[in-house]
Amino acid sequence: MEPLSLSETKEIIDELDFYSQQAMTFGFEVRVYFNGTLKENAAGVQAFYDKAVELGRKKFKYVAVNDNERFKKVKKDTFDMLPFWASDACEDPAYLLYLKGGKHKDSVNDWNFVYDEASGPTWLRLMVPAEEGANHYDTARALLTLAAEHLDLTSGYAGYGAVIQEDYDSDSSESNFHACRARFLGIEFLDPLPARALFKEHLSAVNWLTLINGAMVERAGGVEAVKGRLDHEGVQLFPLEKGLILQAGEAPTTGDVNRKADVSAYQAVGKALQPIGIPVTAAHVAKYRQGDPRYDFLYRFVQPGEDS
């Protein structure tokens, strides 16, 4: 069965309307989690941000700062905010910057950048339209490498990910969210907030490119042990001075179950990194999984690890 094109996949996901507004879409994203504040990681955050602005300056139309502010139109000085917050001149930096494109400030968009240190670990995301992802594979690898070198990194990934409206009710009778999540295994749908605290010591996600820090490499037994658990020729390893990148195949996949998409490379990465998977006994996951088998989405590629 022929796979759906990215535009056809987007049409399916865009049907997840919520009160007649587009509530979700997906794109090609690079996301990293790290410890510490903006000032403590200023050089790494600035380098990541510079690339985001380089790609998205003409695409980002709206900005929100901190959780209590609604999106407003981008102005000339908008792109100077994050560098200022990171400087010694700023005594009270904000904890959230969200830039996005789109025709309306309340709709989701596949052009976006997020810096968020509201509840650790801090995370960064750069997303571009899925159709443009192939133009930015090298950028994704470079950003993950940069993150490992210049941030107090925990883990990260690059590949297809969803962006979801903040007030979206995934359990609404009008929502097809869970059906979409079960169908497209290669798209990272999980809102990180419920499990984010666990990402300090455990793998956040497996995607096309998966990045872990040096401490996680050691807990996984070292590079050679990870390599020894791999049973897929399509997975490449890229050891870094402070971490490891695993690449699952030549290009990302949406993992469309209905079209029998091949996700074996993603599964192989998950198997190789099993020792650092999120344990089901961890308090946060246990709380959110209680009576809710849909949280098995966390473990679609990597089996539960052990409490650290």
Burial class (CB in 10 A: 0-12, 13-18, 19+), 224: exposed
What six digits make up the tokens of 53?
């602005």
Residue 106 gets which letter from DSSP? T
Task: Give residue 20's pLDDT band: very low, low, confident or very high (50, 70, 90).
Answer: very low
Compute CA distances 9 → 122, 127, 162, 264, whole Å.
30, 17, 12, 20
DSSP bridge partners of 33: 123, 155
Q: How far apart are the first and last CA of the chain?
A: 43
Contact 215, 206 (CB under 8 A): no
Q: Is the full-model pTM beyond 0.75?
A: yes
CA 257 to chain centre: 21
Q: For the segment 163-177, what is each residue's pLDDT rounded down to a tens digit? A: 887 776 666 666 677
Question: How confident is the model over 134-193, as pLDDT tens digits?
Answer: 999 999 999 999 999 999 999 999 999 998 877 766 666 666 777 888 889 999 987 656
Which backbone phi and psi does 267 adopt, to 5 degrees?
-65, -35
Per-residue pLDDT at 51 = 95
User: Domains of the chain: which residue ranges?
Assistant: 6-296
